[in-house]
Structure 1
Amino acid sequence: MLREFAMPDVGEGLTEAEVVTWNVAAGDVVTVNQVLCEIETAKAAVELPSPYAGTVGKLLVEPGQVVAVGSPIISIETAEAAAPAVEEDTGAKIGEVGKDGRVANLVGYGARPGAVTRRPRRGTTPPPAPPTPAPVQQSHSAATSRRESGFTAISPGGAGAGAAAGAVPLAKPPVRKLARDLGVDLRSVTPSGPGGVITRDDVQSHVVTPAAPAAVAAVGGVRREPIRGIRKHTAAAMVSSAFTAPHVTEFLAVDVTATMALRDRLRATREYAEVKLTPLAFVAKAVCLAARRTPELNARWDEAAGEIVYFDRMQLGIAAATPRGLIVPNVRDADTLTLRELAAALGELTATARAGRTSPADMAGGTFTITNVGVFGVDTGTPILNPGEAGILAVGAIKPTPWVVDGELAVRTVCQLALSFDHRLVDGEQGSRFLADVGALLTDPGLALTW
């Protein structure tokens, strides 16, 4: 039987992926879970295993081609009795729709239809399920139900009136705010979401791009590359963050002479002999300790729910420059790790990222980010928040600098820190206290024993 294998959703609700290389060719015999190809999503490179055993019939896409999730990428001739490699009680194979309407993928199934509901507001009864989009002449109860479900029905004379005739498109409040920030008239947007919902991608696709200047004679050649993969995801995330969260950045110069001396002493001990102990490990430890005293920096603004979410564990993101672009993998539960464990985790994270093997799951769920611009010899910068996080700390170059000590001029080892935070949930006092605590710990690491 000739079976087609569709591009699966490898996690995080991604809608497309690029086929980087094929590991098989037409006529090859493959086994279940044998790697067919390497794909690159907007977040990471992933190896795609075969769900069938059989003979490759045809490769349906070329290397370098971007494919939508659910589109066939390869056909495999299997025996009649061949069983799918990934199967639940729905009987669906990877990329196929099961009996319950969900699409099977490498990391499980999506939510069951109707299973996702909003938590009821405190002191009220749960709101009714949002109805199917109705004609413009809707009842008062239907409009109320939509508002309670987290969507806003757009009136006939307002945004969304330009959608399909007789339909009332929906848009969540964050999407409507994004449209206002970007100057997009929702009446001109065609909704693509389930049930006629206007999505964030719908709005961003309607951003008016300034007309290109008239062509002039170019001196030398030019090179053009398509915007896709990690670069495309990073650009969208940074634009969204810049226009959603009100950024505030504060700067602090820190004398880290004592910390660098401590690092030299620890590196000479047997316990740290096989661990690469970098200044970043000390910064990470200081960030985790400071966040305990100022938990607003380890939090998230939930616009849709109207809540601030505080985390009791820190999922520490480390911005890493890789050949594929900027990614931010996380050190899980970083606040529970010792200095040695943090150093080892950072070393493993960096090696995995540079090899292009960071999985989408390792980049999800971050709560605070550190970006080390000092490795490029840069003193400081104004970092943009990783979307959804309350703060990001930029660490500048560590170098000898003239410094006043006890009224005398001396040469000390100094580093510049820059903290950007979301002013919706972090006030200036809280941001300043957090940054001062990080600086104090790096100036005198012995303070950690007193906190």
Structure 2
Amino acid sequence: MLKVFNLPDLGEGLTESELLSWKIAVGDTVAVNDVLAEVETAKAVVELSSPFDGTIAELHGEPGAVIQVGAPIISFDLPGAGPDKTDNAPASDAGSSSLPDGRVPTLVGYGAAVEGAGRPARRARAGRPAAPDPVTAAQPSGSPSSVPVPAGATATLTAERPRSTPPVRKLARDLGVNIALLAGSGAGGVVTREDVAAAADGARPASASPSGTDTLTEAAAGGVRTLGGRPRTEEEPIRSVRKATAAAMTSSAFTAPHVTEFLTVDVTESVELLQEVRQRRDFRELKLTPLTLVARAACLALERTPELNARWDGDGGRIIRQNYVNLGIAAATPRGLMVPNLKDAQDLDLRSLAIRLAELTEVAREGKLTPEQLSGGTFTLTNVGVFGVDAGTPIINPGEAGILAIGQVRRMPWEYRDEIALRQVMTLSLSFDHRLVDGEQGSRFLADVGAVLARPGMALALF
């Protein structure tokens, strides 16, 4: 029986996913929870697992294609007789008939551990020769499409993704290079940035500008230099994280009336505290930064100003105050701006915050953030200081009441004990939703955070 598997909603009503790579090929035999493909949503890169035991009959799409939720992605040849059928039911129900042993399919993630797991075994199907291994991938052309690959097409899809890192795979997608066709020059055959750049340079034809003239480069323009030696204009599709970020920020900026307040604080005592704490045996292996202290101070201050930890429900005509803190940390990742959050941060002491922040940062850098880590935030911190920036007017993360930007710590002249001295100074920028937070409450929150950073011992008196 032929069973068409439609792309499921991978979380929170997402409407599409970009197909990054296939982990199987036509003719492969797969079992429930075998990984079929790697797809990228606006939330995370996830592995799509098989809901069936069966044989891969057809792959609907090429790497780089954007597949709509509910559109066909894979056709299975399942044991047993019956008419062709499209899987339009929930995945757990649709696959139950093929699971006599009661296993539950896991569509997203790693699925059940299977001894000797690896790439599914391939067998030749009746009437067709076994596909070579590895097979070559068709290079996507034009804009991304979710149109199924026509039956009988000569182009086939890659069975395994070559070894590389997330930033290299992103670079390949940005430059229009099919990474599946590259032989890696790195250790163990890993595809490197240099491999991708070389392929892009070798494959890039002379392109035309909208006016019909050739794209100018330094050589073609008789010495006119372009930035980085790149063409004068380049294009990339708006999709995945960038598309979701643009939609979310536009909605937030034009829905929530933003107010931003600034406070410059002498944080010399906090800097000295960090230096002292780092010497303690139980902190020696941890990365303690000003962000760690601000995170702790923000959690304390939110107890005194719960309005900053609330949510506006316009449809329900209510304000929802959340008596817990899922602390969002804006992070620049290989996939773009992401805001994972630390669940129940109000329960974490300084050491626990340092550990959890380090873990979250590492996962974000590896591009392995999960939808669960990226959802449910109640208040956000963004550390613009790591880029050498003093202050800004951050846009509130949708669904939250406020966001606090942390500026760089600068050594500068400051009034101290009626004299001018060189002190460590930081600027805090708080944006809040004026529907939920009045100026009094926003100012009090900012003052509380500043008081803890200026004199960490004040935490004992204020909270």
TM-score computed with the length of structure 1 as normaliser = 0.70
1:350 matched to 2:361? The reply is: yes
Q: What is the distance in 2 between the residues matched to 1:317 and 1:54?
A: 42
Alignment partner of 2:61: what SS? coil
AA matched with 1:53: D
Q: Which residue of 2 aligns with 1:228?
A: 239
- Residues 90/374 of structure 1: CA separation in 2 closer, same or farther (3 Å cut): closer
AA matched with 1:11: G
Please give the per-residue CA displacement for 1:144-200, whole angstroms capped at 9, x wherever unaligned. Answer: xxxxxxxxxxxxxxxxxxxxxxxxxxxxxxxxxxxxxxxxxxxxxxxxxxxxxxxxx
20-29 or 62-71, larger mean C-alpha shift: 20-29
Q: What is the distance in 2 between the residues matched to 1:427 and 1:74?
A: 52
Of 323, 345, 350, the residue aligned with 1:334 is 345
| TM-aligned CA deviation for residue 390 of structure 1 | 0.6
Q: What is the distance in 1 between the residues matched to 2:7 and 2:340?
A: 24
| TM-aligned CA deviation for residue 219 of structure 1 | 5.1
Q: Which residue of 2 aligns with 1:244?
A: 255
Contact 1:31–1:54 (Cα < 8 Å) also in 2: yes
| TM-aligned CA deviation for residue 42 of structure 1 | 1.2
Taking the TM superposition and a 5 Å limit, the aligned residue runs for 1:49-198 are 49-80=49-80, 91-93=93-95, 106=107
| TM-aligned CA deviation for residue 44 of structure 1 | 1.1
Contact 1:56–1:75 (Cα < 8 Å) also in 2: yes
Please give the per-residue CA displacement for 1:285-317, whole angstroms capped at 9, x wherever unaligned. Answer: 000000111111010111111111111101111
How many residues matched? 333
Q: Which residue of 2 aligns with 1:264?
A: 275
Q: Which residue of 2 aligns with 1:133?
A: none
AA matched with 2:285: E
Q: Which residue of 2 aligns with 1:6?
A: 6
| TM-aligned CA deviation for residue 53 of structure 1 | 2.2
Q: Which residue of 1 aligns with 2:436?
A: 425
Please give the per-residue CA displacement for 1:61-96, whole angstroms capped at 9, x wherever unaligned. Answer: 100100111111112223239xxxxx98983349xx
Contact 2:392–2:405 (Cα < 8 Å) also in 1: yes
Q: Which residue of 1 aligns with 2:135?
A: none
Q: Which residue of 2 aligns with 1:441?
A: 452
Please give the per-residue CA displacement for 1:24-49, whole angstroms capped at 9, x wherever unaligned. Answer: 12222222111111111111111111
1:412 matched to 2:451? The reply is: no
AA matched with 1:67: I
AA matched with 2:241: I
Alignment partner of 1:369: what SS? strand
Percent sequence identity is 59
Q: What is the distance in 2 between the residues matched to 1:31 and 1:411?
A: 66
AA matched with 2:323: D
Taking the TM superposition and a 5 Å limit, the aligned residue runs for 1:198-347 are 220=217, 221=231, 222-347=233-358
1:24 matched to 2:24? The reply is: yes
| TM-aligned CA deviation for residue 376 of structure 1 | 0.8
RMSD: 2.4
- Residues 91/323 of structure 1: CA separation in 2 closer, same or farther (3 Å cut): closer
Q: Which residue of 2 aligns with 1:45?
A: 45
- Residues 28/253 of structure 1: CA separation in 2 closer, same or farther (3 Å cut): same
Contact 1:23–1:36 (Cα < 8 Å) also in 2: yes
Contact 1:7–1:73 (Cα < 8 Å) also in 2: yes
Please give the per-residue CA displacement for 1:309-337, whole angstroms capped at 9, x wherever unaligned. Answer: 11110111110111111111110010111
Q: What is the distance in 1 between the residues matched to 2:416 and 2:432?
A: 31
AA matched with 1:19: L
Q: What is the distance in 1 between the residues matched to 2:263 and 2:63?
A: 47
Alignment partner of 2:300: what SS? helix
Q: Which residue of 2 aligns with 1:157?
A: none
Contact 1:9–1:106 (Cα < 8 Å) also in 2: no
Structure 2: gaps (5+ residues): 82-88, 97-104, 109-209, 218-230
| TM-aligned CA deviation for residue 273 of structure 1 | 2.2
Q: Which residue of 2 aligns with 1:369?
A: 380
Please give the per-residue CA displacement for 1:251-303, whole angstroms capped at 9, x wherever unaligned. Answer: 11111111111111111111112322221110000000001111110101111
Alignment partner of 2:440: what SS? helix
Taking the TM superposition and a 5 Å limit, the aligned residue runs for 1:386-405 are 386-405=397-416
AA matched with 2:60: L
Q: Which residue of 2 aligns with 1:151?
A: none
Structure 1: gaps (5+ residues): 82-86, 95-103, 108-213
Q: What is the distance in 2 between the residues matched to 1:417 and 1:89?
A: 47
- Residues 268/89 of structure 1: CA separation in 2 closer, same or farther (3 Å cut): closer
Q: Which residue of 1 aligns with 2:34?
A: 34
